[in-house]
Chain A
Amino acid sequence: MSVEMFIQHFLNALTLGSLYGLIAIGYTMVYGILRLINFAHGDIFMLGAYFVFWGGALFRLPWFLSVVVAILFTALCGITVDRVAYRPLREAPRISALISSIGVSFFIQNLSIVTFTAIPRAVHVPQWLGQVHLIGKVRLLPLAIVVPIVSLLLTSGLLWVVYRTKPGLAMRAISKDIETTRLMGVPVNRIIAITFGLGSALAAASGIMWALRYPQIHPFMGVIPGFKAFIAAVLGGIGSIQGAVLGGLLLGFIEIMIIAFFPGLSGYRDAFAFVLLIVILLIRPSGLMGEKLEEKV
């Protein structure tokens, strides 16, 4: 493989990995706090992409405004999902909330078919983002630079919230022990809502950039990236934000590089992540950066 080709693959992997990482953060935060695999998270990601599409196509909003509005709307959707489908099940067995989230996932997908139709739509990519530059033999898409940078900024912002603000402190406290935190007078439900809001906002950002990078959107576009991002979160160690980003990047590189070096396996691309998942769960269920949980007898 030539150096140029490798750089090309490297940039692709970096973009894909950053996008996985942003989605994975939402999974990891919700799991860290509620021990819930939020199946609907991939569909929230899809909603982000659709909102920005409609903002531009239907309401003729300037692109940056439609991005902001789309992120806000998606965050609101995430909070609503928690309020309606998960909050009533806080005291229920954990699997109940999981089944509920599977229900929400199918609900959002099919509601999107009803409202947006199942026809894939092309997304308009602004000229300055979509114009390919040739540097030597490397085809450089500005997005390949923008996506990792934006992801890095957003992740840093989130880390600041989690480690430097009061709600962030409350989030970390809840993830250690929800009951005690409640007794300390922390409005637990509001903090959980904020968590869902932040996670969904990041998923929306990822969805928007995904739609620009692979310029097509459809109601099922969130399913596979959603599963993979969850696997990235497990890979990085569920509950750890840095781990989620790291897991996302790693998964992006694994996918792109396996196909780059073994083109014959490209048909199996969607299976890599799942094989990886089963392997991690067997050899190191706590992930790369996660803490080990032990069951008390």
Chain B
Amino acid sequence: MYESRTKRLNVAAVALLGFFLWWAQGNLDGYKIQILNLVAINIILALSLNLIYGFTGLFSLGHAGFMAIGAYVSSLLILPAAQKEMIFLLEPLVWPLSVLQAPFFVAVLAGGVAAALFGLLISLPVLRLGGDYLGIATLGFAEIVRVVANNLSGITNGALGLKGIPNHANIWWNYGWCLFTLYFIARLVNSNFGNVLKAIRDDETAARAMGIDVLRCKVVSFSIGAFFAGVGGALMASLLTTIDPKMFLFLLTFNVLMIVVAGGLGSLSGTVIAGVVITVLLEWLRFVENPVTIGSFHIPGIPGMRMVIFSMALLFIILFRREGIMGMREITWNGIIGVCRRKGEKDRD
């Protein structure tokens, strides 16, 4: 009974979101729509990192690398041949890529698959490491990806990057992928396979004694996370229409990590909430870097201030509320209804 009610409420929530997006498309300006799009993509990225770190306990700092792979692969598949010829000034694009074309959905999927394959490739050696060493090794992987992207002019156009990527990633694609990511990861972590991942996170030794092939499960979780990071990167490339290696610095991973930590490691609803709050906050904070004129006062913008505030916020969270917004808890329909009932009863008393 509860299950069917949850299902109905989920459908209702998705419908409500759809209605809101439809309304937003007609009534909000381009800048606000852009923020809405970024919210969706950041949630995809943060959910995938939460699967890897929050649920499986693998401290990975390689997200920027997976995003870069997803972004480049899908962009090369949707760039029109003429545009490719125009932007590859240093070296022409190598042959099959120069003529290869795919529909947007397939391109994004290919970006995710490519990222997942790289995830698989590096996870086999790297996941034998634990804790902080894994973090550094995955960070190293991301940096290698960036350096390679900077040098492999025949494929990535080097430091110039790719320009004029078709802007297919509209609000429907982004939220569609965002909902799919949420659905997929929620189903995964709430299944017994998810229980196994959490077991590995909580006590690897005990998990091994329970007959769990720890390395295999880690590889699966890591690769699925890499897939969605690649999808996020692919969508972001199409949303921003330009990418270059500088975009995929460690800072990008830091932003995603911030959302995951703020939302709560091992909480999907926390990640969604933090994804919205932090994306909006990051955009809103741009005002401190822009000059402001109030009456006759002219306050010059302070470059760097936004990230100062942002990194201070992370420090506050990690020092004073380490479990983040939600800890490991989730907001569920049953939970909400329970709270409403209790409140109703209290009001009646």
| A/B: CB atoms within 8 Å of each other | yes
Chain A positions near chain B (C-beta within 8 angstroms):
35-37, 85, 88-89, 92, 94-96, 98-100, 102-104, 106-107, 109-114, 117-118, 219, 223, 227, 230-231, 234, 267-268, 270-271, 273-275, 277-278, 281-282, 285, 295, 297
A107: chain B residues within 8 A (beta carbon): 308, 311-312, 315
Q: Is B162 interfacial (CB 8 A cutoff)?
A: no
Shortest CB–CB separation between residue B56 and chain A, in angstroms?
A: 13
B311: chain A residues within 8 A (beta carbon): 103-104, 106-107, 110
B122: chain A residues within 8 A (beta carbon): 278
With contacts A95-B132, A278-B140, A281-B133 taken as known, whether A271 is within 8 angstroms of B147 at the C-beta atoms is yes
Q: Is the Cβ of A110 less than 8 Å from the Cβ of B137?
A: no
Q: Is the Cβ of B133 less than 8 Å from the Cβ of A99?
A: no
A230: chain B residues within 8 A (beta carbon): 136
A281: chain B residues within 8 A (beta carbon): 126, 129, 133, 137
Q: Which of A36, A96, A219, A223 contacts B318 (CB 8 A)?
A: A96
Determine which residue in A111, A273, A278 has the highest number of CB atoms from chain B within 10 A of its CB, and name it: A278
Shortest CB–CB separation between residue B50 and chain A, in angstroms?
A: 14
Cβ contacts A to B, 24 pairs, < 8 Å: A94-B131, A95-B59, A96-B322, A98-B132, A98-B135, A99-B318, A103-B314, A103-B315, A106-B314, A109-B307, A110-B307, A110-B311, A111-B308, A113-B307, A114-B302, A114-B308, A219-B304, A230-B136, A234-B136, A267-B151, A268-B147, A274-B144, A277-B136, A281-B129
Determine which residue in A94, A112, A219, A274 has the highest number of CB atoms from chain B within 10 A of its CB, and name it: A274
Q: Which of A88, A94, A106 contacts B132 (CB 8 A)?
A: A94
Shortest CB–CB separation between residue B55 and chain A, in angstroms?
A: 14
Q: Is the Cβ of A271 less than 8 Å from the Cβ of B148?
A: yes
Q: Is the Cβ of B144 less than 8 Å from the Cβ of A275?
A: yes
B132: chain A residues within 8 A (beta carbon): 35-37, 94-95, 98
- Ordered nearest first, which 6 A-B pairs have the shortest CB separation? A113-B304, A274-B140, A110-B307, A271-B147, A106-B311, A107-B311
The size bracket of the interface on B is 35 or more
Shortest CB–CB separation between residue A234 and chain B, in angstroms?
A: 8
Q: A117 — nearest CB in chain B belongs to which residue?
A: B303
With contacts A95-B132, A268-B148 taken as known, whether A106 is within 8 angstroms of B59 at the C-beta atoms is no
Q: Is the Cβ of A118 less than 8 Å from the Cβ of B304?
A: yes
For chain B residues 225-259, which have a beta carbon within 8 Å of chain A?
250-251, 254, 257
Contact with A along B292-331 (1 / 0, CB 8 A): 0000000000111111101110110011001000000000
Q: Is the Cβ of B125 less than 8 Å from the Cβ of A110?
A: no
Q: Is B150 interfacial (CB 8 A cutoff)?
A: yes
Shortest CB–CB separation between residue B305 and chain A, in angstroms?
A: 6
Q: B318 — nearest CB in chain A belongs to which residue?
A: A100
Q: B260 — nearest CB in chain A belongs to which residue?
A: A99
Contact with A along B141-176 (1 / 0, CB 8 A): 101100110110000000000000000000000000
Q: Is B10 interfacial (CB 8 A cutoff)?
A: no
Q: Is the Cβ of A114 less than 8 Å from the Cβ of B305?
A: yes
Task: Specify the main secondary structure of chain A where it touches its partner.
Answer: helix
B136: chain A residues within 8 A (beta carbon): 37, 230, 234, 277
A100: chain B residues within 8 A (beta carbon): 315, 318-319
Q: Is the Cβ of A99 less than 8 Å from the Cβ of B261?
A: yes
Q: Is the Cβ of B144 less than 8 Å from the Cβ of A271?
A: yes
Q: Is the Cβ of B305 less than 8 Å from the Cβ of A89?
A: no
Interface contacts beyond A95-B132, A295-B205: sample of 19 additional A-B pairs, CB < 8 Å, sorted by A? A85-B315, A89-B318, A99-B261, A103-B311, A107-B308, A110-B306, A110-B308, A110-B311, A111-B308, A112-B304, A114-B302, A117-B303, A227-B139, A271-B143, A275-B140, A278-B126, A278-B140, A282-B125, A285-B133
CA distance A67 to B225 in the complex (A): 47
Q: B134 — nearest CB in chain A belongs to which residue?
A: A281
Q: Is the Cβ of B307 less than 8 Å from the Cβ of A118?
A: no
Q: Is the Cβ of A278 less than 8 Å from the Cβ of B137?
A: yes
Q: Is the Cβ of B141 less than 8 Å from the Cβ of A278?
A: yes
Shortest CB–CB separation between residue B145 and chain A, in angstroms?
A: 9
Shortest CB–CB separation between residue B266 and chain A, in angstroms?
A: 13
B318: chain A residues within 8 A (beta carbon): 89, 96, 99-100, 103
Contact with A along B54-84 (1 / 0, CB 8 A): 0000010000000000000000000000000
CA distance A71 to B57 in the complex (A): 39
Shortest CB–CB separation between residue A81 and chain B, in angstroms?
A: 10
Q: A238 — nearest CB in chain B belongs to which residue?
A: B133
B322: chain A residues within 8 A (beta carbon): 92, 96
Q: B59 — nearest CB in chain A belongs to which residue?
A: A95
Q: A98 — nearest CB in chain B belongs to which residue?
A: B132
Q: Which of A36, A106, A117 contacts B254 (CB 8 A)?
A: A106
